[in-house]
Chain A
Amino acid sequence: MLLIELGNYSITAAFVLAIFSAAASVWGGLRRRADLILAGRNAALAVFGLVTAASAALIWLLMARDYRVEYVASHVDNALNAFYRFSAFWGGQEGSLLLWVLLLCVFAAVVIRQNRTRNAPLMPYATATLMVTALFFLTILTFITPPFKTLPVPPPDGKGLNPLLQDWGMVIHPPILYLGFVGFAVPFAFCIGALASGKLDTDWITSTRRWTLFSWFFLGIGILLGGAWAYKELGWGGYWAWDPVENASLMPFLTGTAFLHSVMIQEKRGMLKVWNVSLIIMTYALTIFGTFLTRSGIISSVHAFADSSFGWAFLAYLALALVVAFGLVIWRLPLLRSEHEMESFFSREASFLLNNVVLVGMTFAVFWGTIFPVVSEAVKGIKVTVGPPFFNQVNVPIAILLIFLAGASPLLAWRMTSARQFQKSFVYPSVVAVGGLAVLLLFGVTHLYAVLAIALSIFVVGAIWLEYYRGVCSRVRHQGENALEALWELTMRNKRRFGGYIVHLGMAVLFIGVAASSAYQQVGEVRLRPGESFAMNSLRLRFEGLREDRTSQYNSAFARLAVFEDGRKIGEVEPEKRVYFTPPQPTTEAGIRRGFKNDIYAVFAEADEDGATFRFMVNPLINWVWAGGIIFGLGAVVCFLPERWGRRRSSYAAPALAE
């Protein structure tokens, strides 16, 4: 009983203290009263402590299988191992909302600690913003879906965790995605702080640059992990379906990407201030909207793991946040004037701006497609769902333009690029891309979008190669280092720029994978008896037989298939069908033979008396998607590293250059 009561009262107390913290901070900031600001700060830290206590209590109850608590009874059962019992913390509605608040409070505590003496003018408002966000979720946890609700009669066994969620990828995917979602609250809070205090120089941006990167990194990795999980677990042979909840995570990633680029223009040239504050407000709003989509059940989705009926609360909060934030922007418009004018279309700034327009355009297209069912229902009374064809039709051309920009932008100079420089920079990457195009056509790749996407990705690789090459040459010439040293120093001394290039490289590799695997996927569905084969081009799959197995949680049937290429056996795949006991639910585990060139993907659909039905897919270059994701992650890490990390230390005391 102790833990249940502790959890309950902690959440209620946190709710009250969050109100106090927000109020005291704002009041203290306005009236310039240090005691109030400090009280607001302490209250925020106290909220952090209380929420941590509540989370620990819930985790403990889950681990101990305390079925008196409704949440525990509906998300774990006696057979579930400790790993999944722990992950049940975010396996359901209340728990995942608690995780949201927990992460937010951890971030708030870190921010407060980092800024004890810094950013004094805007900190009270930033704290208040974070606390208002926490307050919103605490309101839901206190009044609408309390996680520590008890059952009058505890059942002997729980209902268990959704079997689809019983996969390591699914265990880490939600918290990683949440790190990204919640993290964007920090730059948003600083933005609000800057707007409220009127201190609108670049301080709020530089202070939160790494927070933005952090959130953006985890959001990106979270999306990729989700894709990898869908590919392995859902058995439709793809990794992205334009599902509303996938879209919900993609949208803040797109606007976050736009923000990361456009803040550079503000830092370098003092331009686009209104745009930057708007972008971060949009990103924050989209993270809340994303949580709403996952939690409200308003749009049906494969992610409907947690349905509820408090969507109105999200919409109300969203509206409030947008009105307040944009109200502040309008109030501060006179302070947000640009310091420079755009001077040339052939400049880094202009290409960044174009990239922003493209990213926001894409966000809008995704947003429209996602909410269309709701809009159509409201207007016409019928729910019209727009499927992947709509999203692909709109987004593929936009994405192709985006790939081009990822290559072109790094080649352009700030302010303006002269015709000669332009020529000098663009010739090599273009030649390489045209060469790649010729090779593709030679090999009979004629799908328009795929050809364009791949050729432009090659252009990106060429452009980044050129940048590295020039940088290394310049260091070799001017600093007398060898090429390897030069490469390392180049990257470490310009982490932001060259880390960014690595990210672009990852995106190029990823896009090659996406283009090839979506344009040239082969699908076949067939019923086979043991010993029979099915052929797809040079590949042949032979059904060898069935095998059954039983674990403490499920029964499973495996179908063994031998894979032949040009008549030579190259391996086996073993798709599996599971039937879980609690809750009784079948799942499919695809049999995948992964390869550099393609994946052979087999799904065991059903077995009958003397055979089985299968769905086979050949997914070309699909592993390039994951490889691109890993490169993307590496690049993001390079950007994130502290400025001086990895460089040779220099100090002013020593006479540095042999002058």
Chain B
Amino acid sequence: MEILTVGVVGAAVASSFLYAIWPLVRPPEGAEDLLAGANGRETREQEVSRLLMERDQAYKGIVDLEFDRQMGKLSDEDFAQMMASARAHALAVLRRLEARGVEEGAVPVQLSEREAGREAGRLAEAAPETEEEEAEDAAEPALDERLEEEILAYRAVKPPEAAPAPKPAPRPKPAAASPAAQAPGAVRFCPSCGAKAGEGHNFCAACGFKLR
């Protein structure tokens, strides 16, 4: 074998092996982070990023359900039942996000995985090392509001500047049975379960009943 051949082949093989065993020789910094998830303990950043993705998934589920309903794919009872559990799930995710200091409006909805990671990183930098306890006392009505707002944002069709003339938001005809819907701004209650309903809500946050 010529010397050149030996050199090139030797270098290729040797560098491959060296690259492979290098982490054993000198573990890189932050290598343990890799295990954080594996041990069931995520870093705060990983957790927030995952929760953000979960949040968007939950919103997508809710929007899909509404769409299925519009397409006539779901009966009223099925819809109410599935919506209630979808909303409960979304609220649970929001509660956990709030407990980790992610407030309403802090992070846009509909993130790609990379964006979710970046946002989580940004939040972690903004508020480093504030190890909060799981706060279960995030005010429910406020959380309801937030859910509705964010779902609206998720569903948002046209950015304001893209719409030339802001026509009145087309919406299914208000149900005659809910007088509250006719008085915008007035406090409304769900006719089905009696829970207080937020302004602009299409569905009862507590039971999923269709408000308009």
Residue numbers of A with Cβ under 8 A of B are 1-2, 5-6, 9-10, 13, 17, 20-21, 29, 32-39, 41-43, 45-47, 49-50, 53, 117-121, 124, 197, 413-416, 418, 421, 424-425, 467, 470-471, 474, 477-481, 489, 494, 642-644, 648-659
Contact = CB atoms under 8 A, between A and B. Distances in A.
Nearest to A203: B50
Contact of A13 (B13, B39, B82): B13
Contact of A414 (B2, B73, B117): B73
Given A471-B71, A658-B168, 14 more contacts: A2-B9, A41-B23, A42-B22, A46-B19, A414-B68, A415-B74, A416-B78, A418-B75, A477-B172, A481-B157, A489-B157, A649-B159, A652-B105, A652-B109
B5 A5 contact: yes
A474 B33 CA distance: 47
Given A13-B17, A46-B19, A421 B72 contact: yes
Contacts of A21: 20
Interface stretch (B24-32, B93-101, B130-138): B24-32
Interface string B70-100: 1111110010001000000000000000000
A467 B36 CA distance: 45
Given A652-B105, A652-B150, A478 B171 contact: yes
Interface residues of B, number: 67
A5 B9 contact: yes
Contacts of A653: 105, 108
A358 B47 CA distance: 41
Interface in B132-158: 150, 152-158
Contacts of B117: 117
B71 A42 contact: no
- Which of A9, A13, A197, A657 has the largest count of B CB atoms less than 10 A from its CB? A657
A24 to B, nearest CB: 8
A119 to B, nearest CB: 8
Contacts of A416: 75, 78
A39 B28 CA distance: 11
B107 A413 contact: no
B44 to A, nearest CB: 13
16 contacts: A13-B13, A17-B16, A36-B23, A39-B20, A39-B23, A42-B21, A50-B12, A120-B35, A120-B38, A477-B170, A648-B157, A652-B105, A652-B150, A656-B153, A656-B159, A659-B199
B160 to A, nearest CB: 6
B19 A656 contact: no
A415 to B, nearest CB: 6
B17 A46 contact: yes
B170 A657 contact: no
A135 B197 CA distance: 61
A13 B16 contact: yes
B127 interface: no
A494 B65 CA distance: 12
B172 A478 contact: yes
B8 interface: yes
Given A197-B38, A478-B170, A654 B160 contact: yes
Contact of B152 (A477, A480, A651, A656): A656
A49 B16 contact: yes
B169 interface: yes
